[in-house]
Structure formats: structure tokens, C-alpha cells
Amino acid sequence: MNFTVQRDEFARLLSRAQGIVEKKSTIAVLSHLLLETVGDDEIKLTCTDYDVVLMDRCPAQVVKEGRAVISGKTLFDIVKVLPNVDISVQKKDGERILVEAGKSKYNLSGFDPDDFPRIEKGESEPGFSIPVAAFKKMLAKTAFCMSNEEARMNLNGVYFDIRKDDDEKVSFACVATDGHRLAKVEHSFEGIELPFENRGIIVHRKGITEVKKICDTEGGEIFIGFGSGEIVFRVGNASLFVREIDEEYPDYESVIPVDFTRTVVVEVRELLEGMRRIMPLTDPNALTVKMEVRPETMILSSANAQTGFGETSLYADYDGDAFVVGFNQRYLQDSAAAIESQQLSLKMSDADSPCLAEPSDPEEGALYVLMPVEEP
């Protein structure tokens, strides 16, 4: 194998693999990636940790066809410090790989390509395409609510709830929850032929992380397909295959409150600024912020037994009876920061009931459910 590739293109290709190649795997070859020539003007990268498979391509000048297995981290660490010049990659005897660029030369150890996992993927899964920009926003508004508990695998990811509306539009919702808070973003897309009536699938945390990384550098549309026990994302030259979590997702709709006695509307920017002002006095073990609401006023406060007490006030559109409620500060801040609208409404029945946080613009399609916590 022998090819020449432009440095920035090669760096982009390798950077996408870094979250997938297993740096501490007991299976050494999983910390490596497979490079293959495709025709005389392209190279293909493949890497996997068995839960996620990435296949990606970039332009190259192929001198001699072939394939090689190289340490993903080592090769990326080299390429990212090289100047913006063409890079030559040549496979030598004994699985040695020679990398040359400008005045720099590296002789790397490789694996026998026959020892790399055999990966065969189709290219015609049933699915649909939506704009990358819309998909990125949906993940940005929900993924932070995923659970970190590995034992709760059904919550350790984002749930895709895909349905065909009565008017033949496709309704696509992303949902995430860790059991203490819930995020949902839903949008309808026209002109999509859905190959099924309804479909729900859990995409695990690593799959969400990797598809977000790819979407950050791509435009156009992303294809979301459904293979055998996996979900497939195709965008640009990249194809990401993510193992499906074969567990049932909770009935999230049943925990979204619908009856309220109190609605408070605040400016998102002012709420975030207020929480930042009281953060220095927040107990790091409790992370509780007290919210006292009166007509046209919201008072935010936090207390720490070691350092003291702090409060700040802001305007709130509210004209009911005064009440006090406590929230986890990080949960409230994360939800408010994800909202694009200028205003946020907090709807609840009492200080012990779930709170529904929604942007003032319904077109944003987002909602957040926050469980109150005991006041500090």
C-alpha cells in the first residue's frame, strides 16, 4: 500500500476515530484502525470497539493499492503536529508503515490486516433523511439528560421515537432521562417516506457522542437507518453503525405533567445570570437552589453551612400566591441553557410536584421535566 493524502483531510478522518479506538482494550487490535485504498483517488478508514463501527473516507492519491492496520492514537498524534503539507503513507515488509511529511519521517509498527475484525455492512437499510442542522439541535437539547449509570442501560442513551402523523408527516422525538429529569424535543418533517409506521430505539451514550462529533463537521442531510440490531447514521462520507440497546424504554409520556396551578415566566438570560450569581454559595454536596416566587418577582438563593448564604432577585411574570420550591441547580441550569427562546415558562402544581419547563416559542419543540428537591 502506498498513498499520498492532504494533511487536513487526513487529520479530520483520524480525529473522528479517536473516541472509538479502544486505547486500553484487552484486545490490542481494537486500539488500531484499518486503512484501505479505494480505487486510485480515495482511502477508507474502519475502526470498531464492537459496540460502534465507523467507516469513513477521504480523497487521496493512490500509488499502490493495499491495506494496513495502524495504531489510531499514534497516527493521529503524529498527523496533528505536522505542517499543512501532503503526507505519504507507505506499507513496508513486516507490517511496518512509513509516514513521511516535509522534513519528518516516522516508522510505525502495524498489525496484520487479517487479524482485524471482519466487518461487513450493507448500504441499503430502511430509514429516512433529515437535515443535519436539525438533528444536531435535537441532540444538543436532550443528550445532557442521559443517565451515567451503566447498570441502567435503558436510560444510558437517547431514545428515538419515530412515528407517522395522521397528516403523513414524520414525527421524530429525541428523549433522554436519568430518572431525576427528562428532556424531550420533537419535530415534524415533511416529504419523508417512512418505511414503517412507528419505531422506537435507544441509541447508547457512546453512539450519541460519536454521531454528534461527525455532525459537527458536516452539513446537508443525515440518513438514519435501521439494520439488524443496530442503528445506522450516514452523513457525508462517514457511516456510523451503533449497536441497539435491546431493552424497553420507560413510558416517558406518563411522567410529563399536564395539569398545573402555577405558571411562572422568566427571561432565560436573567435566570442563567441569577443562578451564576448565587453559585459561589451553593453547597457542592446538595447543589440546591431555592426559588421563592412572588407576584412579579423571583428570588434565587443558595446556602452553604461552611461559607454562608446568598440570594439575588429577578423579574418574573407571575401574579398568583407566593410559593417556594427547590431545584437541583445544575439540572435547572442545563435545561435553561439549552433553550433558544428568550423566555422560559415553569409550570407546576405545588412544591412537591414535577415541574414542566418549556420555551416561550412552541416551534422550538422542547420540554424539560424537573423534579423538585428539598429546600436547603
Query: What CATH number has the domain bearing residue 72?
Result: 3.10.150.10
Q: Tell which residue, 105, 187, 94, 103, has the closest CA to residue 139.
A: 187
Asked if residue 266 and residue 166 are part of one domain, the reply reads no
Q: Which domain holds residue 59?
A: 2-115
> Is residue 376 domain-resident?
no
Asked if residue 366 and residue 310 are part of one domain, the reply reads yes
Q: Which amino acid is at 235?
A: V
CB atoms within 10 A of CB 3: 24
User: Do the bridges between strand 127-131 and strand 221-226 make them parallel or antiparallel, or are there none, so unpaired?
Assistant: antiparallel
Instruction: State pTM to two decimals.
Output: 0.91
Asked if residue 105 and residue 13 are part of one domain, the reply reads yes
Asked if residue 263 and residue 234 are part of one domain, the reply reads no
> Which grid coordinates belong to 168?
403523513
> Is residue 170 domain-resident?
yes
Asked if residue 136 and residue 54 are part of one domain, the reply reads no
Sign of the dihedral defined by the CA atoms of residues 93, 96, 97, 99, in that order = negative
Asked if residue 240 and residue 326 are part of one domain, the reply reads no
> Is residue 134 domain-resident?
yes
**Could you say which of 201, 221, 252 is where a domain stops?**
252
| pLDDT tens by residue, the chain, 376 residues | 999 999 999 999 999 999 998 766 667 888 899 999 999 999 999 999 988 999 999 999 999 999 999 999 999 999 999 999 999 999 998 889 999 999 999 999 999 999 998 888 877 788 899 999 999 999 999 999 999 887 788 899 999 999 887 677 889 999 999 999 999 999 999 888 888 778 899 999 999 999 999 999 898 999 999 888 899 999 999 999 999 888 899 999 999 999 999 999 999 999 999 999 999 988 888 889 999 999 999 999 999 888 899 999 999 999 999 999 999 999 999 999 999 999 999 999 988 899 999 999 999 999 999 999 976 4
What's the domain count of the chain? 3
> Is residue 361 domain-resident?
yes
